[in-house]
Structure 1
Amino acid sequence: MKLNQLEMLIHLAEVGSVQAVAERMHRTQAAVSMALKNLEQEAGFKLFDRSGYRLALTQRGQQFLRQASEVIRQNQRLQSLTQQLRTGAEPQLRISYDYTCAPAVLFPALQQLQQTFPATELLLSGDSQLRSLRKIRDGEAELALCPWLPVFRQHGDFETVRVRPFELLIVVAPALLQQAGLVELAASHPAAIKVSRQDLLDLPMLIPQNQDVGIDLDIILRMPGQQRIRVNDSITQRELLLAGMGWGIIPGDLVGDAIAQQMLRPIDIPGFINQVNLEVHMVRSAERLAGPAERLIWQYFAGAHGDTSSDASGEY
């Protein structure tokens, strides 16, 4: 039995189709089908129930899957240990951060890393929503910085440490209110502007496209079908808000300076949720052995907050 056959079995249990496994592992569908067929022949008993629309594991197949998953985890640990014994600190450390999280929170820890392990190359990548977590799960990154919800545990076996609060605000440019004839609202209320639901019906609403974030903003806002502009990243959304193209919900970190200069103003909608409070977490795989460089970054945040947990979670 080969490790890649076991990996295909694990992916198949998650996605339920040979085609999806082939796409995930960048193989042809025929190659995946043949590898799984050979695995079943080597096992000597039926792994799959082929009677339904989707492939399902038999009872014996499920028992086999549990042991196969442990073999893959042990292999990942062995590879990690081998690299550390051979090279000392990791030659590269890959860190993914969600676009909604300002990466500057990482910089003090990265400066410590540069001083302690100058030969370790840092690879930083911005990713949308759950792609950061999938990179951790698939071994494409060692650490991820992202907003955290308990539901994300269904995507992998993760450990997390709290980094800081994460706040989503509903904001608008005063100029947009003035254009809509709501001059009095734009000029008053030095803090949050109280805007009625009716006031917003004729104004465009800026919201993210569906990016598998785990938060349904339509449900949170519960607003009817007024004109909407959907964007796929928070930076573009910020620019549209500043240009008076609409009102919307956005991470507070990205608009704090604009709010301070009153280029944007928070909105208070009576009877509606006006803020969403989560937490930004540092996330890593619980199935890998961390190298020295990775441990340094992890301990920087664990030491600052003392809140390392495989069950840490944010509320909203």
Structure 2
Amino acid sequence: MKLSQLEMLVLLAETGSVQGVSERMHRTQAAISMALKNLEEDVGFPLFDRSGYRLNLSPQGRQFLRQAREVVKQQQRLHSLASQLQTGAEPQLRLTYDYTCAPSVLFAAIKQVQNSYPATELLLSGDSQLRALRRIREGEAELALCPWLPIFRQHGDFETVRVRPFELLVVCSPMLLEGLALNRLQRQDLLELPMLIPQDQDIGIDLDKIMRMPGQQRIRVNDSITQRELLLAGMGWGIIPSDLVGDALQRHALERIDIPGFMTHVNLEVHLVRSAERIAGPAEELIWRHFSGNALKGKRAL
């Protein structure tokens, strides 16, 4: 059997007539009928019920059609893959994000890549501390999402685009604040509660220094995801990136604590980062344009 015969069978099911297949494939009706007859001979059972006026599929034909559709779809995917590889689309695109940043900010851009370059495999992984930037520098990833400081340029020749502000919040579970009025909390109240703090953010921030009166009871964890889970469990209060607790704040699983003068302001931004020494492929460039275009719109709005 030939692929063109399977395509005719699929089109016959879609159009309902040999004439419809003939018009779609730009071949004569006689040629279509002969090809379908040869397909029946190849498979060894009747594909069509010819007892009526119209050419209808037999029960075996309907079952065969389901598999024929899959074969035709796979052939179309192979054509798409070949075309994209010919034009230089990356077979694989590696993205990494710092654990302090919510990867969901990448999803809209990733969806664009899926639609435009379905043959490009996407690898998304999380890293702690400065490892995301190191992976870019070492050629182990093409794009990184992470908090950005100008000092990071000493780690490599990077190109960056602003994605969003990086905001640190003081939060706590309502269960830990039982008996305390949120709007009347004082520094001393927090001193008496356990403090959850990452061991080392390694993003140019020393949380011990920006806290003007840190709690005496401490639980140190090795990443912000674990810190968030401990916060939700009521194990203590802590400073955590807003991206990681936005949904919890909305449903009041966590409460934001605002005490004037309690925390030194930190001015950081989340950036998308790539190597300035490497030529970007089209899938990577699509993600980059997604954020650089948004950044340009933001500047115009100002």
Give the direction of change, closer, same or farther, for the CA distance of 1:138–1:98 in structure 2 (3 Å limit).
same
Give the direction of change, closer, same or farther, for the CA distance of 1:255–1:211 in structure 2 (3 Å limit).
closer
CA offsets 1:199-238 (integer angstroms, 9 cap, x no match):
1112110011114221101100133560111111212111
Contact 2:161/2:271, CA 8 A, preserved across alignment: yes
Contact 1:204/1:245, CA 8 A, preserved across alignment: yes
TM-score normalised according to structure 2 size: 0.66
1:274: how far off? 6.4
1:85: how far off? 9.3
After TM superposition, the structure 1 = structure 2 runs for residues 15-94 of structure 1, keeping only pairs within 5 Å, are 88-94=88-94
Code of the aligned partner of 1:287: E
1:147: how far off? 1.1
Contact 2:191/2:216, CA 8 A, preserved across alignment: yes
2:64 maps to none
1:251: how far off? 1.1
Q: Which has the higher contact order (CA 8 A, sep 6+)?
A: 1
CA offsets 1:48-100 (integer angstroms, 9 cap, x no match):
xxxxxxxxxxxxxxxxxxxxxxxxxxxxxxxxxxxx99771111111101111
Give yes or no for the alignment of 1:264 onto 2:254: yes
State the secondary structure of the residue aligned to 2:253: coil
Contact 2:102/2:244, CA 8 A, preserved across alignment: yes
CA offsets 1:132-153 (integer angstroms, 9 cap, x no match):
0000011100100111111211
1:262: how far off? 2.1
2:181 maps to 185
1:142 maps to 142
After TM superposition, the structure 1 = structure 2 runs for residues 132-281 of structure 1, keeping only pairs within 5 Å, are 132-178=132-178, 183-186=179-182, 189=183, 194-224=184-214, 226-273=216-263, 276-281=266-271
Code of the aligned partner of 2:294: A
Q: Tell me how far apart the structure 1 counterparts of residues 167 and 297 of structure 2 sit (CA, whole Å).
A: 19
Give yes or no for the alignment of 1:110 onto 2:110: yes
Contact 1:129/1:146, CA 8 A, preserved across alignment: no
Q: Tell me how far apart the structure 2 counterparts of residues 173 and 225 of structure 1 sit (CA, whole Å).
A: 16
1:248: how far off? 0.2
Contact 1:169/1:276, CA 8 A, preserved across alignment: no
Is 250-259 or 283-292 further displaced after alignment? 250-259
Code of the aligned partner of 1:152: F
CA offsets 1:89-124 (integer angstroms, 9 cap, x no match):
111111101111111111111111112111111111
CA offsets 1:261-307 (integer angstroms, 9 cap, x no match):
22211112232226644211100011111111111110111111128
Is 137-146 or 195-204 further displaced after alignment? 195-204
Contact 1:170/1:250, CA 8 A, preserved across alignment: yes
Contact 2:142/2:274, CA 8 A, preserved across alignment: yes
Q: Tell me how far apart the structure 2 counterparts of residues 285 and 185 of structure 1 sit (CA, whole Å).
A: 49
Q: Tell me how far apart the structure 2 counterparts of residues 110 and 202 of structure 1 sit (CA, whole Å).
A: 45
Q: Tell me how far apart the structure 1 counterparts of residues 278 and 172 of structure 2 sit (CA, whole Å).
A: 44
Instruction: Please identify the structure whose Cα radius of gyration is greater.
Output: 2
Code of the aligned partner of 1:284: R
Give the direction of change, closer, same or farther, for the CA distance of 1:298–1:202 in structure 2 (3 Å limit).
same
Give yes or no for the alignment of 1:128 onto 2:136: no
Q: Tell me how far apart the structure 1 counterparts of residues 247 and 215 of structure 2 sit (CA, whole Å).
A: 30
Q: Tell me how far apart the structure 2 counterparts of residues 184 and 214 of structure 1 sit (CA, whole Å).
A: 34
Give the direction of change, closer, same or farther, for the CA distance of 1:285–1:198 in structure 2 (3 Å limit).
same
Give the direction of change, closer, same or farther, for the CA distance of 1:202–1:113 in structure 2 (3 Å limit).
same
Code of the aligned partner of 1:104: S
TM-score normalised according to structure 1 size: 0.64
Code of the aligned partner of 2:205: I
State the secondary structure of the residue aligned to 1:306: helix
CA offsets 1:9-50 (integer angstroms, 9 cap, x no match):
xxxxxxxxxxxxxxxxxxxxxxxxxxxxxxxxxxxxxxxxxx
